[in-house]
Chains A and B, each alone.
Chain A
Amino acid sequence: MTDTHTGFGRMHRKEDARFIRGRGTYVDDVRLQGMLYGAVLHSPHAHARIISVDTSAAEAHPKVKAVITGETLASLNLAWMPTLSNDVQAVLATDKVRFQGQEVAFVVAEDHYSARDALELIDVDYEPLPVVADARRALDDDAPVIRDDVEGRTDNHIFDWEAGDRRRTDEVFAGADVVVAQDMLYPRVHPAPLETCGMVADMDKVTGKLTVWTTTQAPHAHRTLYALVAGLPEHKIRVISPDIGGGFGNKVGIYPGYVCAIVGSIVTGKPVKWMEDRSENLMTTSFARDYHMQGEIAATREGKILAVRVTTLADHGAFNGSAQPTRFPAGFFHVFTGSYDLEAAHCEVTGVYTNKAPGGVAYACSFRITEAVYLVERLVDVLAGELGVDPAELRLKNLLRPDQFPYTCATGWEYDSGDYAKTLRVALDMAGYDELRAEQAEKRAHGELMGIGLSFFTEAVGAGPRKHMDILGLGMADGAELRVHPTGKAVLRISVQSQGQGHETTFAQIVSQELGIPADDVEVVHGDTDQTPFGLGTYGSRSTPVSGAAAAVVTRKVRERARLVAGAMLEADPGDLEWEAGRWYVRGDQEAGVTIKDIAMAAHGNLELPEGVEGHLDATTVYNPPNLTYPYGAYICVVDVDPGTGKVSVRRFVAVDDCGVRINPMIVEGQVHGGLADGIGMALMQVMAFDDEGNHLGASFMDYLLPTSMECPSWELGETVTPSPHHPLGAKGVGESATVGSPVAVVNAVVDALKPYGVRHADMPLTPANVWRTIQGRPFRTDLAIT
């Protein structure tokens, strides 16, 4: 039985058939003839000079084929590589190590176990140096200079950046009835997909072609960067991103291990596989957040919010490897104007180096919008407390109205569409907000701690318009190619790939919707640079807003070509034809029509085609989005806190998302579920803290805690649909909405629960220890070792 599902709507995923049988092909499943195995030696120190690296014993290991060090790479001019933020990062350290876990050497051996054995045989002599583990000390006069590789550098300052109108904002603040300030930390976290990062690199010396199977969310961008960095001809590089076991931003960047695997294959002439272990993944690959924010909000006594300003210290680690559109060193953080009609807003962000792993934008944050949403939604709650008004009421009073769209916010973003109050009302109704408040009052009277937390978030996703953004000079437009075969079945080639988003299904549904053929008749090809058009990849919730639009546009092009062919078939003027799902017919004569299937065969057959019509049924396109899309949502979290232990239990979570038109609601809901679990994780348990010596205190899943089925409630989802006016399908993207919007709802709920103790803020993660100490009035810095 074949499926005839056509168009948008709930539909089972095509990709599931292989995954439920254990027949997915992840990078670690790739096995090539004669393949060797690589392993990386990491630094135990956070900051130390390398005196010597002795690899002789490792080289003498009978199963070792090559040992690569920083010196080896320096001779190839590959010891350093550019980062996505116009800095450089050491591939293998030559002069110093600058964070614990930094890559120092790479061993290639006949098997995985031997490669790891040989790491033990490498003798590195280090001279430990003073460490900067606390971002707030990075700019101290006596702070050791981490990046002395850069000539003339005398401090750890990376950049100062600002957005908004400082003078105007200061004026509004000066004239406001009420001003509240709150310092807050969005601690360093890690996306931790269950599949770690890895690569199989295969350099074919005869053809000169390098093929890599790798955990990348951006295969085309990686190919171009390998070409630019290593000087390999781009047409001789094929990047395959096979099935990927989750990405969440972790698989955007290029890591030293990838470069080592490639060099390993070049040096040995054999395919080389390198897969991280979990500690390597947590310690060395892109972290996220690490924003120290001093926020302020200004309002009238009646509760009209007037302005927000913030000073942020951004910890970028030892190399500035933050992955975002290059012109935005703080990502899209300046959309912290949120969902409110502000008169003014201003932010300044200072980026600093510390002895921690590089990275900075990763983990489903839509380029730091999660930090922005956290800031403004925490401030609104703090303000509500100050004014003594209900946080839901305060939000309803200040949300943008539908007639204000398109709305240009105080920091310059143009919000496309929204009916915010409606969405918040749906959430309040679903939650039974008034009853919850009544229950809370009753509980408080008995000394029980129950909290209700809200957040209302607006995202800016779908990067991005060519004129506004690029990554290292690469524009953020996406290509798509559609070919309809003679029998009416189609193949769509897209530039984005999937790490679980279900593109093989949703993109088939887009073609299906636009062409009126069953989704099962559309094969989606993705994740292979030799087989797909150029585009920048899957992150920042950009697949549907950018590539989804490309798929719609290219299908419409094919439909137009089909109209011309249909005209020839029907001997009618193409202008007189009408479209209905799957066929063109002559206006006024419904019977006189031909289906896409008929047209496809005719287009490949011997039908005489009019002048200028090429025949066959295919098209290509490149979609450059005119603006970002602005999905939004209203979240309500209900928690119970045990005053004796500080343990937080999330009892309910109501999430109402408006991501415009939903292509496959089942997949949308699944993505929201995953993001909500992430929110629980970040708010309650996930953190990467460091001690004074820069030791990583969250280097395994024993210490870096992720939410399990027991900490997650049964999610309660709702929706409103406000189409994007500029997206061809009206869709806005949703992949990161819940990760962006949910952490602050949980925190607001916990702080609300702790109100009887006079608590108005506590930093994430709200572990039992942290909550208990907060109740005692002795909160601690969650980014440092607990003292």
Chain B
Amino acid sequence: MKITVTVNGQEYDRDVEPRLLLVHFLRDELGLTGTHWGCDTSNCGVCTVCLDGTPVKSCTVLAVMADGKSVRTVEGLEQDGELDPVQKGFVECHGLQCGFCTPGMLMTSRWLLDNNPDPSDHEVREAISGQLCRCTGYENIVRAVRWAAEHPGTSTSTSTSEEEVTA
């Protein structure tokens, strides 16, 4: 089937099998391997992307269902060389270890802050409750999102100096 999907602002026309999952479309057809895959049952959430602004588990969406829609993945978070505050927050607060859940966590966090710029810890926990992380025990992910909420418009900094660590 022929589909047109806008991914991170760029339009792609592709002819795909009807059964192709969106996660495989992104990874295999478009080479956007930042979106991961981790389970067969829509439980882990490492495949989370935003579809027309709403987080979805891309392993549970067919590529053809994204026809005419717009997808945002982790690769689309950085704008003009400027990291998104959630990306900075994850670095600041050590919100990642192996990094496998991170892209999905970042997408949900971005969506949360778009809709609720000042979430409580509990609201952050609820927002990410459909996604697993095996490394961080979630604590620092919550802190990272809170950090991003508190720094909505921070300028780019590649600094990794000690003072900025908020662990």
A666 closest partner in B (C-beta) = B167
Contact A21/B87 with A11-B165, A195-B98, A499-B98 known, Cβ cut-off 8 Å? yes
Q: Are A21 and B74 in contact (CB under 8 A)?
A: yes
In chain A between 70 and 92, which residues have their CB closer than 8 angstroms to a CB of chain B? none
State whether B140 touches A673 (Cβ < 8 A).
Answer: yes
Bound: A268/B32 CA distance, A: 28
Q: Which residues of A contact B134 (CB under 8 A)?
A: 191-194, 246, 248, 674, 677-678, 706
Q: CA A16 – CA B83 in complex, angstroms?
A: 12
CB neighbours (8 Å) of A501 from chain B are 97
B99 A500 Cβ-Cβ under 8 A: yes
B12-51 residues with Cβ-Cβ distance < 8 A to A are: 17, 19-20, 24, 27-28, 31-41, 43-44, 46
Stretch of A22-30, A180-188, A295-303, A418-426 on the interface side: A22-30
Smallest Cβ-Cβ distance to A498: which chain B residue = B98
Partner pick for B106 among A1, A20, A192, A701, CB 8 A cutoff: A20
Q: Which residues in B have some Cβ–Cβ distance to A below 8 Å? A: 17, 19-20, 24, 27-28, 31-41, 43-44, 46, 73-75, 77-78, 83, 87, 90-92, 94, 96-103, 106, 121, 124-126, 128-142, 157-162, 164-165, 167
**What CA separation (Å) do A701 and B60 show in the bound complex?**
15
A355 CB → nearest B CB, Å: 23
User: Which residues on A sit within 8 Å (CB–CB) of B100?
Assistant: 24, 26, 193-195, 245-246, 500
Question: Are B40 and A4 within 8 A (Cβ)?
Answer: no
Residues of A within 8 A of B159 (CB): 1, 3
- Whether a CB of chain B sits under 8 angstroms from the CB of A710 is yes
Residues of A within 8 A of B162 (CB): 5, 9-11
A196: interface (CB < 8 Å): yes
Q: Which of B34, B75, B157 has the most CB of A within 10 A?
A: B34
Asked whether, in the complex, the Cβ of A22 is within 8 Å of the Cβ of B35, the reply is: yes
Check A15 for interface membership: any CB of B closer than 8 A: yes
- On whether the beta carbons of B94 and A666 are closer than 8 Å, the reply is yes
Closest A residue by C-beta to B99: A19
Sample of 20 A–B contacts (CB below 8 Å):
A12-B165, A16-B91, A21-B34, A21-B87, A24-B99, A26-B100, A113-B20, A194-B98, A194-B133, A246-B97, A500-B100, A520-B160, A670-B94, A670-B135, A671-B97, A673-B139, A674-B97, A702-B41, A709-B141, A710-B125
Contact partner of A709 (CB less than 8 A), chosen from B38, B97, B142, is B142
B20, B135, B158 interface centre (most CB from chain A within 10 Å): B135
A677 touching B138 by the CB < 8 A rule?
Answer: yes
CB atoms of B43 and A701 under 8 A apart: yes
Q: Cα distance A10–B160 when bound, in Å?
A: 10
In angstroms, Cα B161 to Cα A465, docked, is 37
Given contacts A194-B44, A714-B121, contact A23 B96 (CB under 8 A): no
- Extra 6 A-B pairs, beta carbons < 8 Å, given A670-B94, A700-B41, A708-B128: A21-B75, A500-B98, A673-B137, A678-B134, A700-B39, A709-B138
B132 touching A708, Cβ below 8 Å? yes
Q: Name which residue of chain A comes closest to B38, CB basis.
A: A194
Residues of A within 8 A of B36 (CB): 26, 28, 194-195, 245
Complexed CA–CA distance, A675 and B161 (Å): 27
Q: Which residue of A lies closest to B19 (CB)?
A: A113
CB-nearest residue of chain B relative to A20? B87
Nearest residue (CB) in A for B89 is A20
| Cβ contact of B39, chosen from A25, A246, A278, cutoff 8 A | A278
State which of B20, B32, B37, B99 has its C-beta within 8 Å of the C-beta of A28: B37
Q: A16-B96, A20-B102, A21-B75 are in contact. Are A674 and B33 (CB under 8 A)?
A: no
Chain A residues bordering chain B, tally (CB within 8 A):
70
Residue on B nearest A29 in the bound complex, by CB = B33
Near B by CB (< 8 A), chain A positions 247-305 give 248, 277-279
Main secondary structure of the interface of A (DSSP, over half): loop
Cα distance A417–B153 in the bound complex, in angstroms? 48
Contact A710 B19 (CB under 8 A): no
Check A246 against B135 for contact (C-beta < 8 Å).
yes
B137 CB contact (under 8 Å) in A22, A193, A677, A700: A677
> Is the Cβ of B160 less than 8 Å from the Cβ of A11?
yes
Chain B, Cβ-Cβ closest to A679: B137
Closest to A501 in B: B97
B83 contacts A20, C-beta separation under 8 Å: yes
Of the residues A16, A277, A674, contact of B135 by C-beta under 8 Å: A674
Per-residue 0/1 for A605-639: is the Cβ within 8 Å of any B Cβ (1 yes, 0 no)? 00000000000000000000000000000000000
Among B28, B41, B106, B139, the residue within 8 A (CB) of A714 is: B139
> Nearest CB to that of A191 among chain B residues?
B134
Q: How far is A5 from B164 in the complex, measured between Cα atoms in Å?
A: 12
Q: Complex: how many Å from CA A110 to CA B32?
A: 20
Report chain A residues within 8 Å CB of B97: 246, 500-502, 670-671, 674
Asked if A448 is at the interface (CB within 8 A of a chain B CB), the reply is no
Q: Do the beta carbons of B140 and A701 come within 8 Å of each other? A: no
Q: Which 10 A-B pairs have the closest CB atoms?
A: A22-B34, A500-B98, A245-B100, A19-B99, A673-B137, A701-B43, A22-B74, A500-B97, A677-B137, A12-B160
Q: Do residues A21 and B78 form an inter-chain contact, with CB atoms below 8 A? A: yes
Question: How far in angstroms is the closest Cβ of chain B from A522?
Answer: 13
Q: B138 touching A712 by the CB < 8 A rule?
A: yes
Report chain A residues within 8 Å CB of B19: 113
- Which residues of chain A have C-beta atoms less than 8 A from B157's C-beta? 1
Which of B32, B92, B103 lies in contact with A12, CB distance below 8 A?
Answer: B92
Shortest distance in angstroms between B99's beta carbon and chain A's nearest beta carbon? 3
In whole angstroms, how far apart are the Cα atoms of A3 and B27 in the complex? 34
Of the residues A1, A195, A669, contact of B38 by C-beta under 8 Å = A195
When chains A and B are docked, how far (Å) is the Cα of A781 from the Cα of B103? 39
Taking CB atoms, residues of chain B closer than 8 Å to A667 are 94
State A702–B41 Cα separation when bound (angstroms). Answer: 7
A190 to B36, CA, bound (A): 21
| Residue A243 at the chain B interface, CB threshold 8 Å | yes
A684 within 8 A of B: no
A556 within 8 A of B: no
Q: Does residue A488 face the partner (Cβ distance < 8 Å to B)?
A: no
| Alpha-carbon distance A244/B97, docked complex (angstroms) | 10
Q: Is A494 an interface residue (CB 8 A)?
A: no
The answer on a CB contact under 8 Å between A277 and B136 is no
Least CB separation from A25: chain B residue: B33
Q: How far is the CB of B123 from chain A (nearest CB, A)?
A: 11
> Does chain B have a CB within 8 A of A178?
no
Instruction: Report if A13-B34 is in contact (Cβ < 8 Å); known contacts: A1-B159, A666-B165, A709-B128.
Output: no
The answer to whether the Cβ of A665 comes within 8 Å of any Cβ in the partner chain is: yes
Whether the pair A22, B73 counts as a contact (CB closer than 8 A) is yes
Smallest CB-CB separation from A196: which chain B residue? Answer: B38
Any B CB within 8 A of the CB of A602 = no
CB distance from B161 to the nearest CB of A (A): 6
In the complex, which residues 27-55 of chain A have their Cβ closer than 8 Å to any Cβ of chain B?
28-29, 31
A19-B96 CB under 8 A given contacts A5-B162, A196-B38, A700-B40: yes
Inter-chain contacts of A677 with B (CB < 8 A): 134, 136-138
Instruction: Say whether A16 contacts B90, CB under 8 Å.
Output: yes
